[in-house]
Amino acid sequence: MSSKAAPVPAAAPAAQEETPFRRFVAQFAEDRIAVAGLLVFTLIVLAALLAPWITPQNPYSLAKLDLMDSRLPPGSKAGDGFTMMLGSDGFGRDIFSAIFYGLRISLAVGAISCLIAATVGMTVGLIAAYAGGRVENLIMRLVDLQLSLPAILLALILVSMFGKGVDKIIIALVLVQWAYYARTVRGSALVERGKDYVEAARCLGLSHARIVFRHILPNCLAPIIVVATVQTAHSISLEATLSFLGVGLAQTEPSLGVLISNGFQYMLSGKYWISFFPGLALLVTIVSINLVGDRLRDVLNPRLEK
Amino acid sequence: MKLAMKRALLATCAVAYATFALAQDIRIGTSSEPTSMDPHFHNLTPNNQIMAHIFEPLISMDAKQTIRPGLAESWKVIDDTTWEFKLRAGVKFHDGSDFGVDDVIATWARAPEVPKSPSNFSAYIRGKTIEKVDDLTFRIKTAGPEPLMLNHLAQFGIISRKNKDMTTEDYNSGKAASGTGPFKFSEYVAGDRVVLTRNDTHWGGKPTWGKVTFKSIKSDPTRVAALLSGDVDVIENVPTADAQRIKKDARLTTASALSNRVIYFHLDRHRDTTPFIKGKDGADIKNPLYDLRVRQALSKALNRPAIVERVMEGEAEPASQFIPESYAGTSKNLKPTAYDLDGAKKLLAEAGLPNGFKITIHGPNGRYTNDAKILEAAGQMWARLGLDVSVEAIPAANFFSRASTGGAGGVPEFSLFLVGWSAGTGEPSDSVKALTTTFDRSKGTGSANRGRYSNPKVDELLLAAIRTVDNAKRNAMLAEATEIAMNDVAIIPIHYPLNTWAAKKEFTITPRSDEYTLATSFGRK
Amino acid sequence: MLAFILRRAGQGLLVILAMVVIVFFGVNVVGDPVWILVSPDMTQDQIAEVSRSLGLDRPIWEQFFHFVGGILQGDLGRSFVHGTPAIRLILDRMPATIELALVALFLAVILGIPLGLFAGLKPDHPLSRGVMAVSILGFSLPTFWVGLMLIMVFAVMLGWLPATGRGDLGSFFGITTSLVTLDGWSHILMPAFNLALLKISLVIRLARAGTREVSLQDYIKFARAKGLSRSRIIGVHVLKNILIPIVTVLGLEFGSLVAFSVVTETIFAWPGMGKLLLEAIQRLDRPVIVAYVIIVVVLFVVINLIVDILYSLLDPRVRLSGAPA
């Protein structure tokens, strides 16, 4: 119900003096922790992208793994001669390499699912706001229904029905997330729709699609960006949780969640590194995204401006 | 200040908790939970092991699965198809009523007919007709010779004639839970615990434990944590990852027994082109698993000691056949295939496949100890043989239906896949019959032969063996059938896992080969 | 009001129908439950017999109509694994989950509000920054990972708290709960804290934001000017005003606590309905999954309804109508 929906953040009509972007950057940079978060996140993304060139081992190639290298503590030498800085897991995977490759999968799952969910959500939300009436009513009922069920439960059931795999988990994550975007976009778009420039565009006889996508949408982007950062962190964490519960991704090409889950069984026997370092990587990733998201929310949401 | 108070409170909790357990109590952490308290509802180890405390079978099996008298004190074979059993006199049910042949007859009527049972005990009871001689004597008649009579009678518990028509819910609530066993039913909280109390008047003498609590703790590390923190006294299925550490811990004691289970690869022997093997260029090729040399090469390329040591962390032994050599009916000539990568490559070249092929191997995830890891380890080893290996571990729920009937036309789907098989009877006749005789629904042979291996010689020997009552003769036939199947690489055995229990050091453990965790296996020093 | 409730009930029914269809046909795609249930030494004929007795040999749509027919008569079917009515299995375990969720909610309130209040009143105090950092961490830490760390530290290393399970049960006004025994509390503390972690962060943030907004309001300035004591201003005026949104959000979050207990219950072997769901999924126990979904959706609809009604009572500006605002 709209009555329980959190107050919808209004779109941010950026100030006019300087370019809005510059002002945004300056405001964002005021918070040093957020800048640090952004820096760390950029490094993480770079590391994930460059994984094949900067890691000593391809942890997904069976021919490169040797069972004899399994469960070595950090700093040990592998059979192939390189040093396993963070030790190895139960299959002889170098944890350092596995984290970089795992980041690739975790980030990709998070980013792709967010991208699709945002696209779907935006389209649906815009249609609702622009069309109004019955269409809007129907769409928003659907959104409410979706949001009334917790993501973890829905994702758990969907993934266990779809089966394991990157594609399946992305579908499940999209299905549990699109509604957040739809709700946000509709809220902002409703505000925009009432503004004069939309009226003017209508009078000029521009097509609906052009008005919606070229004029309304750009003005709704700020809140979408905030939601997207939060949701990316959320979906990375959700994927890790599902993998931990044994319904997420496959064992052979582990994401961070699978690595942690695999290491989970070694925690008590003192082989902390198998689970600890991937856990740390996951934590740093999510924290850095959340720090950025937090700052974005402050900057893009004029209600909280000092 | 607040923190100090909180700490004090926590400490009190811990002390209160520690003093709670009495010396006569034992708390056992199990890795699975029973699905019911009805002894005839679900023929499954987690159920059977708890039921065995309350309801006793006619014949009992000791820790090494050797036949011992149970509720039946003695027996004799009258002729090939008739056995006579004498029941123990003076045995009483928990509700005070006398035990006699009528209770056995009631069990015979109920056990195969429990409604909605996912797997009942009919396999052990059908085809065996009971004739009452007197209150403590009865005869069993069968259509043909039944050499495994005693093993079968050891598989299910006897209920009281009064509770013959009780429902599964009546057993779950405890209303009908009256058996003759060493412990009485006290409490069943589904998903959490089963509590049993001592039966002071048990015919075998007063049991050691006054109160037995089975707590189900599925997650491996959590179960170990429960033992380390003193939450439970004993745990079953010590995870391989923690076994070494627990063995070194002075506060704990462990004991292991080689299980009657074998972990093995089954191979597709029924399709000329098998769906998960292709040429390296991706084109269909003739099923290479038809060729003995390829099968031998696959077996030789497996480094069993490495799997045992690195994946199972020493908690297993390399396997050469269906059950460990220490059991009856096994071949003493078979040895685990030695690791020989060069030899394997040579065999592959001789078979006309010097460059190997592309293969996807399958296995369950979470059904057997470390199953997905063993699968991946095997994948690594076969990759070194020169094959392009993909590994696919599938949740157990999905795996078995696909492995049995998932292929086109309802045939087994996979080409080369990891499975396990345990011999509940403590000898290999069931294993040979289910895994390597010709698949035939009407005869009931090859029921788990998911590779569809077929060899008339093995069929013939097995069918003769299960009609031979003479133990020595039967065992010789089973050993021979085993040797033929193994030399033909009908399956690729990998290892026999160890079952390991761990307890606080003031406890003693008698490990069992049948994977059962029984309160009577534990004592106090 | 009645139209509003009816509309809500109708929506709930729609969700239930959609979820039941997904689960019913989804399980069928995953695999045939019969293979998990049977013991391996059964012959094909015996397996076929089990399949028949459970009705699994029928075409899936026929099973579905049979099931829907059952629902109309109030029968949600029997668990394949346990043989008992699925609904009873779940209701039996529901008290444990509700208990866990309530304690988690309680922890979230007593830890979250004071911390958030402090951070809101003194936004530039170093401790406040610490609190906010912790709250970001609380949002980011994966629940399962924290659960394991808690067990490692408090149960294994320090030995203060039992690692798993639910404690002794006691009876309180006819309600059976573990919250009336010391043993019960020692068991529930860790899982409840684990489950509460996210909500603690949430409450901190809500309380902080609320406090910052409220402290700028005229009536607070007025109260200060009037010379009211600081503790009275905070305790009465600020707290009262930030409490309404917190209570509302927490009411809605209760449902998500119940859902998230799947993770916590699995780690701490807490015998609740979340653990049952995961086991049912692993064993393809379709009737239990379906019954769980139905029960949880009903629970959610009811919670949301209550929160909405309460909210409309607390804040007269909110009108309950079915139409969008």
In this predicted model, what pLDDT tens digit does every residue of C205-242 receive, in sequence order?
888 888 887 777 777 777 777 777 777 777 777 777 78
CA A213/CA A202 separation, integer angstroms: 13
pLDDT above 70 as % of chain A: 92
- Which whole-number Å values give the CA distances from C282 to B222, C33, C276, in the listed order? 19, 10, 10
Q: Which of A95-99, B186-190, B420-424, C42-46 has the lowest mean pLDDT?
A: C42-46
Q: Is A10 a member of any domain?
A: no
In terms of residue numbers, what domain contains A204?
Answer: 23-58+84-304
Q: Is A16 a member of any domain?
A: no
Domains: count for chain A: 1
Q: Is A37 a member of any domain?
A: yes
Of the candidates A90, A164, A269, the beta carbon closest to that of B242 is on: A269
Residue B454 in tokens: 């077929």
- Asked if the Cβ–Cβ distance from B225 to C276 is below 8 Å, we say no
Residue scoring higher pLDDT (C3 or B490) = B490
Give residue B161's pLDDT.
95
User: C91 to chain B nearest CA, in Å?
Assistant: 11
Q: What is the average pLDDT across A116-135?
A: 89
Measured in degrees and rounded to the nearest 5, phi and psi for residue B512 equal: -115, 145
- Asked if the Cβ–Cβ distance from C83 to B192 is below 8 Å, we say no
Give residue B100's pLDDT.
95
If pLDDT is split at 50, 70 and 90, which confidence band does A304 have? Answer: very low
Give residue A162's pLDDT.
78
Give residue B245's pLDDT.
87
Residue scoring higher pLDDT (A4 or C237) = C237
Q: Is A6 a member of any domain?
A: no
B395 CB near a chain A CB, below 8 Å? yes
- At A151, which CATH number? 1.10.3720.10
What's the pLDDT tens digit per position in A10-19?
A: 444 444 456 7
CA B140/CA B132 separation, integer angstroms: 9
If pLDDT is split at 50, 70 and 90, which confidence band does A170 have? Answer: very high
**ipTM (interface pTM):** 0.80
> Which of B27, B401, B443, B452 is the best mutation test for C, with the most CBs of C within 10 A?
B401
Pick the closest to residue B182 from B157, B151, B165 (CA basis): B157
pLDDT tens per residue across all 525 residues of chain B: 444 545 555 544 444 444 445 678 999 999 988 989 999 999 888 999 999 999 999 999 999 888 999 999 999 999 989 999 999 999 999 999 999 999 999 999 999 989 888 888 888 998 999 999 999 999 999 998 998 899 999 999 999 999 999 999 999 999 999 999 999 999 998 778 899 999 999 999 999 999 999 998 888 888 998 898 888 999 999 999 899 889 999 999 999 999 889 999 999 999 999 999 999 999 999 999 999 999 999 999 999 999 999 999 999 999 999 999 999 999 999 999 999 999 999 999 999 999 999 999 999 988 899 998 999 999 999 999 999 999 998 888 778 888 988 888 889 999 999 999 988 788 899 899 999 999 988 888 898 899 999 999 999 999 999 989 888 999 999 999 999 999 999 999 999 999 999 999 999 999 998 889 999 999 998
C156 CB near a chain A CB, below 8 Å? yes
Residue in chain C lying closest to B430 (CA): C41
Q: Is A184 a member of any domain?
A: yes
Q: What is the average pLDDT across C125-137?
A: 86
Q: Which residues contact A119 (CB under 8 A, 6 or more apart)?
A: none
Q: Is A68 a member of any domain?
A: no
Give residue B94's pLDDT.
96
Q: Is A181 a member of any domain?
A: yes
Residue scoring higher pLDDT (B402 or C12) = B402
Give residue B19's pLDDT.
42
Q: Is A72 a member of any domain?
A: no
Q: Which residues of chain B lie closer than 8 angstroms to C56, CB-CB?
A: none
Residue A18 in tokens: 């300087």
What's the pLDDT tens digit per position in C161-176?
A: 887 788 877 777 777 7
Q: Which of residues 237-266 of A touch C (CB under 8 A)?
A: 237, 240-241, 244-247, 257, 260, 264
If pLDDT is split at 50, 70 and 90, which confidence band does A301 have? Answer: low
Measured in degrees and rounded to the nearest 5, phi and psi for residue B296 equal: -65, -40
Q: Which residues of chain A lie closer than 8 angstroms to C3, CB-CB?
A: none
- Asked if the Cβ–Cβ distance from A62 to B389 is below 8 Å, we say yes
Give residue C318's pLDDT.
56
pLDDT above 90 as % of chain A: 26
Question: Is the pLDDT at C253 greater than 90, yes or no?
Answer: no
Question: Is the pLDDT at C320 greater than 60, yes or no?
Answer: no
Q: Which residues of chain B lie closer than 8 angstroms to C266, CB-CB?
A: 218-219
- Asked if the Cβ–Cβ distance from C256 to A152 is below 8 Å, we say yes
Q: Which residues of chain A lie closer than 8 angstroms to B363, CB-CB?
A: none
Which three-class secondary structure string do you get for chain A?
CCCCCCCCCCCCCCCCCCCHHHHHHHHHHCCHHHHHHHHHHHHHHHHHHCHHHHCCCCCCCHHHCCHHHCCCCCCEECCCCCEECCCECCCCCEHHHHHHHHHHHHHHHHHHHHHHHHHHHHHHHHHHHHHCHHHHHHHHHHHHHHHHCCHHHHHHHHHHHHCCCHHHHHHHHHHHHHHHHHHHHHHHHHHHHCCHHHHHHHHCCCCHHHHHHHHHHHHHHHHHHHHHHHHHHHHHHHHHHHHHCCCCCCCCCCCHHHHHHHHHCCHHHCCCHHHHHHHHHHHHHHHHHHHHHHHHHHHHCHHHCC
What is the bridge-based pairing of β-strands B193-198 and B211-216? antiparallel
Q: Is B514 helix (H, G, I), strand (E, B) or coil?
A: coil
Question: Is the pLDDT at A303 greater than 50, yes or no?
Answer: no
CA Rg value for chain A: 22
If pLDDT is split at 50, 70 and 90, which confidence band does C319 have? Answer: low
What's the pLDDT tens digit per position in A202-248?
A: 888 888 888 888 888 887 888 888 889 889 998 998 998 888 887 88
- Asked if the Cβ–Cβ distance from A3 to C29 is below 8 Å, we say no
CA B171/CA B185 separation, integer angstroms: 10
Give residue A8's pLDDT.
43
Question: Is the pLDDT at A125 greater than 70, yes or no?
Answer: yes
Question: Is the pLDDT at A97 greater than 90, yes or no?
Answer: yes
- Asked if the Cβ–Cβ distance from B376 to A269 is below 8 Å, we say no
Q: What is the average pLDDT across A178-204?
A: 85
Place of tokens 């990709």: A108
